[in-house]
């Protein structure tokens, strides 16, 4: 696999119904509201057919690391409430497949994400920083699970008071650049110190 190719399989388990989860993941225009740590902005480009197939959405996203991605998703498959597939183009190119399975009062969710990173930063540095970029994706998906659980809890709340007690979803990370700068300085100082000891 070339260094700028990635394949992630994420598994979530949440309390709720497949229909509820499908409603949330099949409406990406709502992602900035309930998954704001990753989805900064979404805009519909084309509506698609009555099932949403062919629907194109322009997205501006980020993870823990201090860079953003601009890309477009196109729905290629819609089989409510078990499966949803998209094609991605832009700063990365690939496909994503959501699979949902009801298991009692829980939903088992799998997201199969296979892509080639085309953004210059990712394309040229993946050979060196692939584990870091992969960790960035895992952070984003962990935020997605937390946000999904909070959104389902809001939907299941019995009244407004109960709903107000549910925390807001985590927002985008705005401190990673500072931590990376400190880490870089620390690494440089450590390397210089080791070199001096050897000399």
Q: Residues 70-106: pLDDT tens digits?
A: 999 999 999 999 999 999 999 999 999 999 999 999 9
Contact 53, 70 (CB under 8 A): no
CATH number at residue 181: 3.30.530.20
pTM above 0.75, yes or no: yes
Q: Which domain holds residue 75?
A: 5-198
Q: Which residues pair with 178 in a beta bridge?
A: none
- For the chain, helix (H) and strand (E) counts, in that order, are 5, 7
CA distances from 65 to 61, 133, 149, 175 (A): 11, 8, 23, 9
Average pLDDT over residues 191-196: 74
Q: Is the pLDDT of residue 153 over 70?
A: yes
Number of structural domains the chain divides into: 1
Q: How many CA atoms lie within 13 A of 6 on its CB side?
A: 29
Contact 154, 36 (CB under 8 A): no
């Amino acid at each position: 696999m070339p260094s700028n190719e990635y394949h992630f399989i994420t598994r979530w388990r949440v309390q709720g119904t497949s229909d509820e989860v499908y409603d949330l993941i099949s409406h990406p225009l709502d992602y900035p509201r309930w998954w704001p740590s990753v989805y900064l902005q979404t805009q519909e480009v084309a509506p698609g057919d009555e099932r949403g197939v062919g629907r194109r959405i322009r997205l501006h996203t980020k993870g823990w690391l201090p860079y953003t991605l601009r890309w477009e998703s196109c729905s290629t498959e819609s089989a409510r409430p078990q499966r949803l597939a998209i094609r991605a183009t832009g700063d990365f190119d690939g496909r994503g497949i959501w699979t949902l399975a009801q298991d009692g009062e829980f939903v088992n969710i799998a997201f199969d994400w296979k892509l080639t990173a085309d953004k210059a930063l990712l394309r040229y540095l993946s050979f060196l920083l692939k584990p870091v970029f992969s960790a960035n994706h895992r952070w984003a998906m962990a935020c997605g699970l937390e946000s999904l659980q909070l959104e389902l809890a809001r939907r299941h709340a019995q009244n407004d008071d109960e709903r107000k007690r549910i925390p807001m979803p985590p927002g985008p990370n705005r401190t990673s650049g500072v931590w990376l700068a400190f880490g870089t300085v620390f690494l440089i100082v450590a390397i210089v110190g080791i070199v001096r000891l050897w000399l």
